[in-house]
Structure 1
C-alpha cells in the first residue's frame, strides 16, 4: 500500500533533488584504486647477459609480472601455475632489493638444475 505524499513533502523532495543535481560530477566519481608500486627500488641497472638467473616467488595475491615491472626487471619467464613468480637475470643489487621486501617477495633463489632420485 502506498502512502500519499503530503503537500509539505513535495517541496522538500524538489529541494533535495535540486541540491543533488547541482553537485559537481566529480563528487559522484569513485576514488581511484592505488597502483601497486615496489618500495623505492634502486635505479634499475640492465643486468648483463652474464648475470645469473634467479627464480623470484611473490605472494599469491600479487601479479608476478607487475612486481617485475615495478622493479624494472624484464622476466625471462613468468610463472602463474606451479608457483607465483618469475625467472630473470638479476644483478646483485636487484637480488638485495627483492630480498629486502618480504611483504612482496617470498623468496629469491638462484636458478639451477634439479633432479630426482628416481625412486617412488
Structure 2
C-alpha cells in the first residue's frame, strides 16, 4: 500500500503552484483577518480528498474497450492494460465502483496495492 502522504503531495504542490500564479489583485483581496492555520487547513482538506478515491484495477472481458468503460462511469484511466490482463486502473469513488460492479463484462475490481514475493530462486 502506498503512503497516503505521497498521494496528497502532488495535489498540494499543484494547489500551491496555482496560488503562486494568481494576479496580485486576486491574491490580496480585502480580507479583514486571515484565518488561522490556513495552509495547514488546506493541506488537511487535500489529504481528505486524496483519501476519498482509491486507485483500483478493473479487469474486463476482451470484447470491451477499457477507455469506453471508464468513460461510462466518469473515470479517467491512469493506465490501460492490454498484455497480461485486459482493463484499466483509475481513481474511483465508491459510487463508481458500485456502478462498475453492476456492468456486464466487468470481471473484477480490486484496490491497487503493493505485493511482495517470497524472495529470489
TM-score bucket (shorter structure): 0.5 to 0.7
Cα deviations by residue, 1:45-70 (Å, 9 ceiling, x for unpaired)? xxx53311000011111111111112
User: Could you say which residue in structure 1 is the equivalent of 2:96?
Assistant: 94
Cα RMSD for the two superposed structures: 1.4
Query: How many matched pairs?
Result: 72
Q: Which runs of 4+ in 1 moved over 6 A?
A: none
Q: Where do 5+ consecutive residues of structure 1 fail to align? A: 1-47
Which of 71, 80, 83 is the equivalent residue of 1:81?
83
> For the Cα contact (< 8 Å) 1:54–1:90, is it kept in 2?
yes
Counterpart Cα distance in 1 of 2:83 and 2:69: 16
Structure number with bigger Rg: 1
Counterpart Cα distance in 1 of 2:108 and 2:60: 7
TM-score (norm 1): 0.55
Q: Where do 5+ consecutive residues of structure 2 fail to align? A: 1-48
Counterpart Cα distance in 2 of 1:56 and 1:115: 21
Counterpart Cα distance in 2 of 1:69 and 1:109: 18
Counterpart Cα distance in 2 of 1:68 and 1:105: 11
Give SS of 1:76's match: strand
Counterpart Cα distance in 1 of 2:77 and 2:50: 13
Give SS of 1:69's match: helix
